[in-house]
Amino acid sequence: MKYLILKHYRGGPAPVVDCGSMDKWTPEEVDAHVQFMRDFAARLEETGEFVEGQALSPEGAFVRYDGEGRPPVTDGPFAETKDLIAGWMVIDVDSWDRAVQLAGELSAAPGPGGEPIHEWLEVRPFLTEPPTVTE
């Protein structure tokens, strides 16, 4: 079963450890964090559990349809006031328990001073069938 692991810049539960934003970390701390992520993905590639992943820029906007012949509506450049997804990873594992176990390991990525950041990660299963509607 495939699961999506989402890393949030902010928007999840209150942090266990306040590591500040990554732009305040030293270059060495950022490198160690990124290397941890790469090593984690490489380990999952070896077991066949890694599907794909990507880090995301904090820039972006919500966009919606506004009617025929009208331009799309965006929420504006107010990134500081909304949830931001830092990146994602898709894994293919045998169970929910395994997905949670891996997310827990990923949550130990190092931050300032090389200490685990205890980051909250969101784990969501892929929808395997359309929802059933009953009346």
pLDDT in single tens digits along all 135 residues of the chain: 999 999 887 656 677 777 877 888 999 999 999 999 999 999 999 999 999 999 888 777 778 899 999 999 887 655 555 567 889 999 999 999 999 999 999 999 999 999 998 888 999 999 987 777 887
Provide the pLDDT for residue 81.
53
Residue numbers of the domain that contains 109: 2-125
Q: What are phi and psi of 3, to 5 degrees?
A: -130, 150
Residues 6+ apart with CB under 8 A from 48: 92
Provide the pLDDT for residue 120.
87
Residues 6+ apart with CB under 8 A from 45: none
| CATH number, residue 58 | 3.30.70.1060
- Which region holds residue 76: left if phi is over 0, alpha if psi is between -120 and 50, else beta? left
107 assigned to some structural domain? yes
Q: 122: closest CA among 37, 43, 10?
A: 10
The number of domains in the chain is 1
Dist CA 37 CA 55 (whole Å) = 10
User: What is the pTM (predicted TM-score) of this model?
Assistant: 0.81
133 assigned to some structural domain? no
Provide the pLDDT for residue 17.
75
Dist CA 84 CA 128 (whole Å) = 26
132 assigned to some structural domain? no
Provide the pLDDT for residue 133.
81
135 assigned to some structural domain? no
Provide the pLDDT for residue 92.
97
For residue 81, the 8-state DSSP code is: G
Q: What are phi and psi of 72, to 5 degrees?
A: -60, 150
E strand or H helix at 64? strand 63-64
